[in-house]
Every structure is written in C-alpha cells, then in structure tokens.
Structure 1
C-alpha cells in the first residue's frame, strides 16, 4: 500500500506542476493570492471559541445539496467549508454569510498542505460529499479524526474507474467512519469496492432537501409567457435549445442559464448570431443589463442569465424547465429545483447522474426528449396548460416524498461528532 501511495503522490505532483500555472492565471487577479495560499494550506483562523467541522463540497451543486445540513451544524460548531471551484466559493459565501461558516479553497492533496490545514483548524470531524475521496486527506486525517462521507453516490463511470484500482480504494474506504449514500444501488457499489457494509447507511438524496429563496425580479411581470427556462446548459445545448425555441415561433420568453460563467460571452455571441439568422423578430438582453422591458413590436424575448446563485429562484417564474447537461453525455444537472416550484420538466436522454429521474419519467412527472424531438415536446407543453400543471404537481409530490435525507444524516452524525 505504501508503494501505491508513492505512485499516487508522484502522479499528483506531476499533474500539479503542469496544471498549476493554468489554474492560477485563469482566475481573476483579485482571487489569485488567496487561492494559491489556501491551496497550499496557508490559513489563519482567529476564532477558537467553538469546535470546528471541516465540510468539503466540490462545487455549486454540492454546496446547495448540503446547505441545510451546514446550517443545522453551524448552530453548534464552527464550519470550515471548502470548495474547489470559484463558483462554489461565490455561492457558499453568499448562502452562508449570516452563518458561523468560513469558506475556503480545498488544499491540494499533498501531505504537507493537508497537515498545515489540519493544524490550523483542528477539526473534530471531516465531512466529505458525494464521491470526494482524496487519498492523502483520508490517510492523514483518519489517524485522529472521524471522516464521514454524506450524500454519497457512485456513477457507473466512477465505479468502473475505481474498480480498476480496487486494492487502493478499498484501503481508503475502510478508513471512513460512516458512509451515507443516496440509494441502494450506490450502497452495493461501495460494498463491491471494499467498504464495510455496517458503516453504510442509505439516507436518501440531500438534494431533495433544498430550500430556495423567493426572489422578486423587477422585470418578471413584463416578459411574455410562456417562459421556458433552460438551466445549467453546456455546449452545444444552447444551440439545440435556441433552434427549438425559434422553430416554435411563439410569443414567449426563453431564459438560458449556462452552467459555467466563463461561457457567458460565448453564449451571448451564439444568441446574437441565431437572432440575426432568424426571420422572427426577437429581443435579446442579459439579465444583469435589462434596461427596457419587452416591446410589443417583437414576437419573442431571449434572456441570458449572466449571474451566479439565482438559478434556483429563477425557476419560480418559468412555465417550462429544460434540464441542461442532459442532451450530451454529461449526465444531467439537478432537476429538483424546478420540482420545488411545481414546474414541468423536460430532460434529455443523458440523466445518469440522477438515477431517480427514472421514477419521475415512470410517474409522468418529467418528459424526456432528444435534440430532434425537443421542439415537439416544448410545443406540447406550450399548448396544454393543464398538462403543465399535472406534470408540475406530480414532480412536486415526488420531491416531497423523497425529502428527509438531511434529517437522517444528522441523526447518524451525532454518533461520530463530539
């Protein structure tokens, strides 16, 4: 096992040397100094009055999923919340600005950076989310601190990759004190990889326990309906969705929210090109720059969401939700936020990151389409208000039925957190 760790550390360091300059310079200037310091474990923590729990949530989706758990724990502990992405940082800082939470970047998984991080904070427990298995972190911290995996999942792709190095993964999984997984199928995969069955509990998906803010947008009553919101889109989904919307030829609004902020400019260029090519008169605006509202002289409106952290609240104003990441082999993005607002959902054929979508489709709480049929499925919902209401209500009922994972997880955590 020592040889395996030596190989891992060597490969990690080689990758770090190669990618470090790229990762450093791709960040805005004002972030670089903090990013590089925290990634190497150079941190300062003045507040020592409460015991600390280190929670790691890689990006936006994971931060949102464990938000309720963080709020509950922050009432009794100082939470050190680490993320890897900049967008995860922004959302976490905004979401927990009134809580006892310090948001930092996850340190590199190198021994001295991990040791420095642990020395600064001395957490009484470490909570990892979903499939965040960092070998050096687990190896070092497990000697003195309980490490817990919550909202665990294991995609088929991850499982196949981990199975090839089962001898290594098995060693890591045995060091975890508790493993809380979303579904039975994930439990079986963890057991196959070497996790101890008695440590694994099926608690459900914490993403069902989301709480979304009601934001009243000043322009929401001035845009034409129906409103179709495409959330967390990836390239080339924007073009697929734009083509479908333009082909509908309706008086309505299409709101596009790209998954990654660095693509805002790219998507804006695409929208302008599509509008120029279309015979339909379409008004376009970015959400942050709306200066005039919908004009009766135009037949449709396209809005580009160029702000972070508001997508969940934006779903409230739509009539139809289209789930991004599902029309390409990405695996889909979170379909639960539109369900929270009782909105009918359209997803693409690639939703393997969210196995529960099969139940949604079976219960007719979601419609599935591919790039060729998307326009027809949109048209079906646009024309039928009753169908939209029925699908949205069914989605909301399933959402309610599957909630409660956070409560179950917190109950189990009490056994391991002093």
Structure 2
C-alpha cells in the first residue's frame, strides 16, 4: 500500500509541475500571491489562528459544497474555530461572504503532497478533518488520519466516479478504512461505499444537507417595476445562455429574463451574447448598473427585459422574485446545478435532461414538482407555464413540500460528530 501512495504522489507531482503555471496565471493578479503561498502550506498568523478554541478543518471544493454545508459550519463555529478550505476562487468568495460574521478562517486547499499536508496540520493543529461530498484526497486522508479523526459529510459518489474508483479498488479500499465516520446522502451512496470497501459500522445515511438551506430575501426597489412574468436561469454554463435567450425571445410576450452565469469570468462573454440578440422592444441591464434604490422607468406593457446578474452569492435569494426557475448545467452534459433554492421559495422548476448530479430530481419529476425538457421544447414548456398560473402554483407547492420532507441532514450529522470530536 505504501508503494501505491508513493506512485500516486509521484504522478500527482508530475501533473502539478505542468499545470501549476496555468493555474497560477489564470487567477486574478490580486489573488496569485496568497494562492501560491497557501497551496504550498504557508499561512499567515492572524487573530483567528491564535484563538483558544479547538479547530476543525472542513474542506468544501467549490460554491455548491460551501452552500450545502453552511448550516453545519455556522453551528460548529459556535464551539470551534473553523478552517474552511476550497479549491476554486468562486468558492472562496462565497465562503467569505457567508461566514464574515462567524469564527471561520478561509484558505485555499493545499496541494495533496505529504509534506504540504503535514505543514498545514502543524500550523492549524485541528482536532478533526471533515471532507464534503466526494473529496477523497489520498495523501490528505492518509496523513491526517494518523493524527486526528477524518470524517466525510454529505457524502456521495456519482456513477462516473464509482466506475473509476472500482478500477482502483485496491487503492480506494484502504483509503476508506482510514475514515472514522462516513455520513452519506442516500442508500444508493451507502451501497457504493460498501462496494468499494468501506466498513459497514462507519457509514450512516444522514440525508442531503443541500435541503437544509436557509435563504434570506433580498429586496430590490426595481423588482416591482420589471416586466412580468419573471424567468430566472440560474448557474448557467456555455452555451445555455443562448439556448435560454432564444427560448425566451420565441415567446414573443412581455416579460423579464434574469440570467445568472455560474462563473464570474464569463460575465462579459454572456453580455456580448445577449447584446447580439437585442431589438427595439428588448432592454438589457447588468445588475451592477441598476440603481437598487430606484424604479426602472419603463412600461412593462411595451418592453421585455434581460438582466445579467454579475454578482456572486445572491442567486438563491433572487429566486424569490421569479415566476419560473430554469436550472443551469442541465442542458449540457454537466449534471445540473442545485434545484433546491427555487424549491425553497415554492417556485416551479424547469430543467434540462442532464441532472445526474442530483439523483433526487427523480422524486421531483415523479411528484410533478419539476418539468424536464430539452432545448428544442424549452420555449413551449415556458409558454405553458406562463399561461397556466394554477400549474405554476401547484408545482411550486409540491417542490416546497418535497424540500421540507427531506430536511434535517445537518442536525443528524452534528449528532454523529458530537460522538467523535472533542
């Protein structure tokens, strides 16, 4: 087994050698110095790191994982100092916004190299390491498990990952045995972990923490004056903006389409796509250009409107104002984005055929709380929902009831953590 870890470390280091310049340059200049420093385990001492509270290291790769475990992090931060690591820059931004009033220090996930992991553990001295969803970093798990409990929270394994893990089961099985506790979302994931060699007594089905979200309403003065109905396409990927735009324009009725790209670096590209579709009866605004304290002086009977949301961290709250929610990442083979935020606000949900990242969508479809369609039929589905307010209300209510029925994963996980973490 030591040989397998050595081979992994060598291969990881070779790949890192080639990718490091690209990963460094692609980041904004203001972030590069901190990114490279923290990736190699060098962290500045600050007031939080001198806290007398015991520390827990939680790793959440990006925005979705940060949002999912937010409730757990906030509750744990009452007793512990939280060291929260992410991989992506967007994950960093969302985490900094969400936890600015909590005892949470946010860092970049260090490279999965033994001496770097050891250096990080020595600096922070956490009493436990909590990984989220599918974050199985071999050296991180191996090194940390020698010193502290290693826990998986909100665990899941996609079909694609499962097929890959099965091919290297000889490597994955000893890795899973190093976990003290595995909290998984559903029975199907428990079976996959067992198949890969996890120990039965360590696995608990706790549910999906993404159902435990709490969203604050954000009120805009302009929301009352924009043309109705309002359609929000959330967390879109290329080329979904064009798909949604064309479907919206085919409706040929007044209304507002709010587009929220998944990645901020695409804001300018999406703006160009939108502007290429504009006509005399179609207005366009970037959200940052709208005065939040003034109405928009336009007649909703004459114009339709496109709003590009060029801010991070507000999509979940923004769904409150829509009449129909379109889930991004589902009209391409990405696997979909989180449909639970519109469900929280009792909104009818429309998604594309690619939602495999969220297996529970089947229950939403079976309960008629969601409509799945393809890009060619999207316009027709939107038209039917716009014309049938009763259908919209029924779908929204069903989505909310499903949301409520599946909540509680955070509390179940916290009760299990209390048995392990001092």
Fold equivalence (TM over 0.5):
yes
Partner of 1:410: 414
Partner of 2:57: 54
**How big is the shift at 1:250?**
1.1
Between the aligned partners of 1:2 and 1:51, the Cα distance in structure 2 is: 31
Between the aligned partners of 1:251 and 1:361, the Cα distance in structure 2 is: 29
Between the aligned partners of 2:15 and 2:260, the Cα distance in structure 1 is: 32
Partner of 1:187: 190
For structure 1, the 5+ residue unaligned runs are none
Residue 118 of structure 2 is aligned to residue 115 of structure 1: yes
Equivalent residue runs for 1:270-281 within 5 Å: 270-275=273-278, 281=281
Query: Are the counterparts in 2 of residues 228 and 320 from structure 1 also a CA contact under 8 Å?
Result: yes
Query: Are the counterparts in 2 of residues 68 and 210 from structure 1 also a CA contact under 8 Å?
Result: yes
**How big is the shift at 1:275?**
1.7
**How big is the shift at 1:295?**
2.1
Partner of 1:93: 96
Between the aligned partners of 1:366 and 1:199, the Cα distance in structure 2 is: 35
Partner of 1:210: 213
Partner of 2:386: 382
Partner of 1:339: 343
SS in 2 for 1:93: helix
Partner of 1:353: 357
SS in 1 for 2:277: helix
The equivalent position to 2:142 in structure 1, one of 139, 143, 147, is 139
Between the aligned partners of 2:83 and 2:253, the Cα distance in structure 1 is: 48
Partner of 2:242: 239
Residue 289 of structure 2 is aligned to residue 286 of structure 1: no
Residue 34 of structure 2 is aligned to residue 31 of structure 1: no
For structure 2, the 5+ residue unaligned runs are none
**How big is the shift at 1:88?**
0.6
Partner of 1:198: 201
TM-score by structure 1 length? Answer: 0.98
Between the aligned partners of 2:57 and 2:44, the Cα distance in structure 1 is: 15
**How big is the shift at 1:415?**
1.0
Instruction: After superposition, give the CA deviation of every residue in 1:265-292 in whole Å (9 maximum; x if it has no partner).
Output: 111111011225xxx6200010111257
SS in 2 for 1:150: strand
Residue 375 of structure 2 is aligned to residue 371 of structure 1: yes
Between the aligned partners of 1:140 and 1:406, the Cα distance in structure 2 is: 27
Between the aligned partners of 1:406 and 1:365, the Cα distance in structure 2 is: 24
**How big is the shift at 1:321?**
0.1
Between the aligned partners of 1:377 and 1:154, the Cα distance in structure 2 is: 32
Partner of 1:221: 224
TM-align CA RMSD: 1.1
